[in-house]
């Protein structure tokens, strides 16, 4: 398979945009939070690093994760992962694990199909999302697991996960998506707080893009058109 080159991304979120999440009562917010936590318990991979199965059907799986150590990489292989999208540019990490005798026996065909450092403050591009959608279709067609990660599995991973849920699982509520992203965020307080406003601006736009709805750049950080470039 031809490896994908790094893709350009869209506009930098350098200003605070209004949060466009739907209005909810306190009771509704509590119920949304409970449901997300319940799903997280059901989806969590016990031997993974901030790793969750967000979709599956027989051998097809979509997994969001943080950067794994070798033991955690083996668990991803056991889950059927054979393709990975890596958004912090450290794909050689998994590539080295894949060279081991164990992986050659138990994880044949494993491939890093994307290995570029994305910036959290920069919204995703149409080109990258098209590439991601195609990788999902390949995994569905050929019945294997597709995993994606950044470093901590929080922000870059979180926004792509919410896009996937909107595109493939019917997610429409920005508040639910924003809350899900935050609940999946690393326990590091600095990391938690650093990009909250950025994610609040990006995630509603990703939901709109997933549902082919128009986006107002004065209201949110819209997905934009960018050309491919070598990483």
Taking only Cα atoms into account, the Rg of the chain, rounded to an integer number of angstroms, comes to 17
Write out pLDDT tens, residues 158-178: 999 999 999 999 998 888 888
Let me know the angle formed at the C-alpha of 96 by 90 and 100, rounded to the nearest 5 degrees: 155
Q: CA-CA distance, 62 to 74, in Å (whole number)?
A: 16
* Structure tokens that stand for 206 in this block: 């990703």
Question: pTM of the full predicted structure?
Answer: 0.86
What is the distance between the alpha carbons of residues 206 and 204, in angstroms, rounded to a whole number?
A: 5
Query: What is the b/e burial string over 94-107, where b = at least 16 CB atoms within 10 angstroms of the residue's CB?
Result: beebbeeeebeeeb
| Nearest to 184, CA basis, from 56, 27, 21, 33 | 33
SS3 188: coil
pLDDT in tens, 9-41: 444 444 444 444 557 898 998 999 999 899 989
Domains of the chain listed by start with CATH number: 26-210 (3.90.190.10)
Closest CA to 163 of 122, 195, 196, 133: 133
């Amino acid at each position: 398979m031809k490896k994908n080159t790094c893709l350009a991304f869209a506009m930098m979120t350098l200003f605070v945009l209004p949060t466009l999440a739907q209005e909810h009562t306190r009771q509704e917010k509590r119920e949304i939070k409970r449901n997300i936590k319940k799903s997280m318990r059901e989806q969590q991979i016990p031997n993974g690093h901030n790793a969750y199965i967000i979709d599956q059907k027989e051998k097809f799986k979509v997994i969001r994760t943080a950067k794994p150590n070798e033991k955690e990489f083996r668990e991803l292989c056991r889950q059927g992962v054979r393709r990975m999208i890596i958004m912090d540019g450290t794909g050689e990490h998994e590539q080295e694990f894949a060279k081991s005798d164990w992986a050659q026996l138990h994880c044949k065909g494993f491939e890093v199909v994307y290995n570029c450092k994305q910036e959290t403050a920069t919204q995703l591009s149409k080109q990258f999302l098209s590439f991601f959608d195609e990788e999902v279709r390949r995994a569905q067609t050929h019945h294997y697991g597709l995993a994606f990660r950044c470093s901590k599995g929080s922000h870059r991973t979180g926004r792509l996960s919410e896009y996937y849920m909107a595109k493939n699982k019917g997610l429409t509520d920005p508040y639910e998506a924003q809350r899900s992203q935050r609940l999946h965020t690393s326990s590091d307080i600095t990391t938690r707080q650093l990009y909250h406003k950025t994610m609040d601006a990006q995630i509603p736009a990703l939901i709109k893009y997933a549902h082919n709805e128009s986006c107002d750049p004065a209201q949110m950080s819209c997905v934009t058109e960018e050309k491919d470039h070598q990483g």
